[in-house]
Amino acid sequence: MALTEVSKNKVFGGWQKIYSHVSEELGCKMNFGVYLPPQSESEKVPVIYWLSGLTCTEQNFVTKAGSQQLAAEYGVIVVAPDTSPRGCGIEGEDDSWDFGTGAGFYVDATEEKWKKNYRMYSYVTKELPQLIQANFPADRQRQSIMGHSMGGHGALISFLKNPGLYKAVSAFAPICHPVDCPWGNKAFLGYLGSDRTAWENYDAFALTKKYQGPVPDILIDQGKDDQFWHQQQLLPEKFVAACAEAKIPVVLRMQEGYDHSYYFIASFLRDHFAHHARHLKA
């Protein structure tokens, strides 16, 4: 699991770095960002994994969210991977913005064309954490996960499918019920085939019915001026209803005037770091 350092910049007393490596799960070179807070120079610290949305790379969160100051204050490593394999030579991988490159949807594909490379679920929940723990001063017992849009979907399902693996979860404008929205239907049909019961294994709404583990504490922020919320792509209300039925605590905050952008994320990211720190440092 050799890493190649692509870039490093000192910020708020720590280091924002970008690394590349050849992924065994994905069969291609992958980049990820990692922020190492000043505290990590003398001790092992907790880790927050951030999963980005459609069309993003590892750079979006690193350059737009303002997370480094918060990570330095709270003393946490922040890891931001890419959103899909890239350059795999699969016919059609670059044909659309919401499927293929930049749109891995954090599933392990089962359809023949995609199943060798499109294994983002196993990459973010298994291979990447192993890589982080092997190469950085990360406390393997204290990790959590958050994300935005498609990445919010990824964070929610990763948490719900792995009880106890993550201490906390939160999301900005997540795709909460992909089985029932156009983005999810397109991605799941392409990656997982036509059996809709298989889709439910990667649907946060459906996974609430199966969850058995420590009582979670889920935080979701959703902008009221988000065009994709209005287009019924995100469906947070359905997820909240499913959580209520399953007796899973969740807080959904509807934010007046905010859209789907990183301006929205930056506005409330401090609240999310505080949410994670409360659990990571308990």
Active site residues: 149, 226, 260
| Contact predicate 158/124, CB 8 Å | yes
Distances, alpha carbon 236 to alpha carbons 47, 128, 180, 184, in Å:
26, 28, 12, 14
Pairing of the two strands 138-148 and 169-172: parallel
Backbone Cα Rg of the chain: 17
Pairing of the two strands 4-11 and 14-23: antiparallel
> Each residue of 221-255: pLDDT tens digit?
999 999 999 999 999 999 999 999 999 999 999 99
Rounded CA-CA distance 171/242 in Å is 16
Average pLDDT, stretch 104-114? 98
User: So what's the pLDDT on residue 282?
Assistant: 79
User: What length is written for the chain?
Assistant: 282
Rounded CA-CA distance 247/209 in Å is 10
Q: Where are the alpha helices (DSSP H) in the chain?
A: 59-64, 67-74, 120-122, 128-135, 150-161, 182-192, 196-199, 204-207, 227-230, 236-246, 262-280
| Contact predicate 105/191, CB 8 Å | yes
Residue 49 CB partners (closer than 8 Å, separation 6+)? 79, 80, 81, 124, 128, 129, 143, 144, 145, 146, 155
User: So what's the pLDDT on residue 1?
Assistant: 66
Please report which confidence band the pLDDT of residue 195 belongs to, taking 50, 70 and 90 as the band edges: very high
> Each residue of 159-188: pLDDT tens digit?
999 999 999 999 999 999 999 999 999 999
- Across the chain, what does the average pLDDT equal? 97
User: So what's the pLDDT on residue 163?
Assistant: 97
Q: What angle do CA 145, 274, 233 make, to 5 degrees?
A: 50
Handedness of CA 135, 136, 139, 145 (dihedral sign): negative
For the chain, the first-to-last Cα distance in angstroms comes to 32
pTM above the 0.85 mark? Answer: yes
> Each residue of 121-155: pLDDT tens digit?
999 999 999 999 999 999 999 999 999 999 999 99
